[in-house]
Amino acid sequence: MLGWNADPWSRRRVGLLLFVLTPAVFLGGGLLSASNALSRVIGPKEAAACTPQTVKAPPQNSFTVNVLNAEGPKGAARAVAKELPLRQFVPGEVGNAQVDTRVVQGIGEIRFGPSGQDQALLVQKLLLPQARMLRDYRPNTSVDLVLGPQFTALKPPDGPLVRRADVVVNVYNTTYYEGLGKSTSDGMVALGFARGAVGLDPQNSWIQDAAAIRFGPDGELGAKLVKEAVPDARLLPDPSNTTATVDLLIGMKWTALAPADKLTVEPPKQALGEIEVDRPCPKS
């Protein structure tokens, strides 16, 4: 190392070197301190905002919906499962949820696997918007609709659950007026109903008033639509009817069907595969 007794030229070179380096050292330290202070003021860099991706959901009838009751009202799972086909969903397993260490709370849960997110989002959107979404490891696209203790009913549909075209109407003439069954059946088809059997009542009933509408437990919604077309008819529940088919029994005081403009206007049914869902942003 050079001492201060070195020759003048050496001392001059050392002084020049110190003159050049000293400001750089102080400047570098100042910049580092300023950078640290600025980062404390501004904070860490925030991640870019994510916008949910809107996509077309798979058709309702392209996957299975299992309905499981977890402390919901008694019989709720079976009632919901019966309603699913009316909403174009395919019901799968129906019963009670298995008891595990985690208790289902609130209105319920929607459980799905890695390949069933869009299906689950569709179930949530159309059936139970307040339900909690819960991913599991199932290998298929099936969805579990788990009914919780606060469940009361599914989300009301945008249109009617049953339309006239969905209702098969058998027309039975219990009078001695010939041809009345055929002409009435033609009139019901003209109003938009699906044609069923035409002829004499297989139960050999004799209706002395205007008409009766006979239906089973699954045909109540259809029977109410038939009632619009035949306002003078009385509703006649029939527990033995295990189908959704409705029987129109023509009576002795029969008059005529209601005109088409007196029936409720039915909105068009949304086509399968045309409903959109929003995929949420992935969790960091």
Query: pLDDT tens-digit profile of 65-76?
Result: 999 999 888 999
Which helix (DSSP H) or strand (DSSP E) does residue 42 occupy? helix 8-42
Which residue numbers in the chain have pLDDT < 50?
Answer: 1-6, 9, 14, 16-21, 23-28, 31-32, 34, 38
pLDDT of residue 239: 94
Say how many C-beta atoms besides its own lie within 10 A of residue 169's C-beta.
28
167-193 pLDDT tens trace: 999 999 999 999 999 999 999 999 999
pLDDT of residue 36: 56
Q: What is the pTM of this model?
A: 0.72
In angstroms, what CA-CA distances link 34 with 28, 30, 38, 41, 52?
10, 6, 6, 11, 38
Between vectors from CA 217 to CA 213 and to CA 222, what angle results, nearest 5°?
50
- SS3 state of residue 88: coil
